[in-house]
Amino acid sequence: MDKHSPHYLYKLVGTNNRRDFLKYMAGSAIASVAMGYLFPQTSHSREVDLETLCSLYPENSSCQNYLPGFTAQDDKGHPIRADALKDSATPGTPIQVKGLPDNSVDYLVINTGPEIAQYAIKPICTHLGCTVKWHPDNNSFICPCHGSQYDNLGRVVHGPAKRSLPLITVVVKQNQVRLVNQKPAIDPRPAINAQ
Ligand code: FES
């Protein structure tokens, strides 16, 4: 079994699924050991270890005072406060943010609650890489190049693209919204036909 696959980690800690694994990892000292298996190249640097560990498992006890990633900013470059965002957000409507060092514009996903999802959408079309734009009137991301469309979670609803929009990780902590330029270990979006 591939040592870097999620299933290898599940087996390592004696669970069968992601939910049990996350519960286990949230408070466990073995987390750093398991992370060593998952990311052996980072095991020599405590700072890099914490960055990786706390991006994937922000509730882990080792991450209490660690904020991974970069501060999410609004279109004027002001830091976004989680409580203010939740007060103004509409569930189902993605929100543009900046903050990653490459100056990319990404989209926070707002779930019912409202809650800020633990992932954001990178608006890069999976057909040939054009930048897609959010169209509130259509409730979808639309690619200007060949017309691919994606729903508000970035899942394909109309080709030629075949794959969902890529994701980055979001950590909400200490009233901050942090952007981590790393895809989640597992795509958390349900398949469209599974809803
Ligand atoms: S690049 Fe987006 S549809 Fe072709």
- Residue 118 has a pLDDT of 93
For residue 178 and ligand 1, the question of a CB distance below 6 A is answered with no
Whether pLDDT at 18 is above 60? no
| Summary mean pLDDT of the chain | 81
Give the pLDDT band of residue 24 (cuts 50, 70, 90). very low
Q: How far is the CA of 154 from the centre of ligand 1 (A)?
A: 14
Question: Where is pLDDT greater, at 192 or 7?
Answer: 192
For residue 128 and ligand 1, the question of a CB distance below 6 A is answered with yes
- Residue 2 has a pLDDT of 46
For residue 170 and ligand 1, the question of a CB distance below 6 A is answered with no
Q: Find, among 86, 155, 92, the residue nearest to 116 by Cα.
A: 86
pTM attached to this predicted model:
0.73
Question: Where is pLDDT greater, at 23 or 191?
Answer: 191
**In contact, 166 and 157? CB cutoff 8 Å:** no
**In contact, 63 and 52? CB cutoff 8 Å:** no
Share of the chain above pLDDT 70, in %: 74
Give the pLDDT band of residue 13 (cuts 50, 70, 90). very low
What one-character DSSP code corresponds to residue 192?
Answer: G
For residue 30 and ligand 1, the question of a CB distance below 6 A is answered with no
Q: What are phi and psi of 49, to 5 degrees?
A: -60, -45
- Residue 16 has a pLDDT of 57
- Residue 52 has a pLDDT of 84
Q: What are phi and psi of 7, to 5 degrees?
A: -65, -30
List the beta bridge partners of residue 58: none
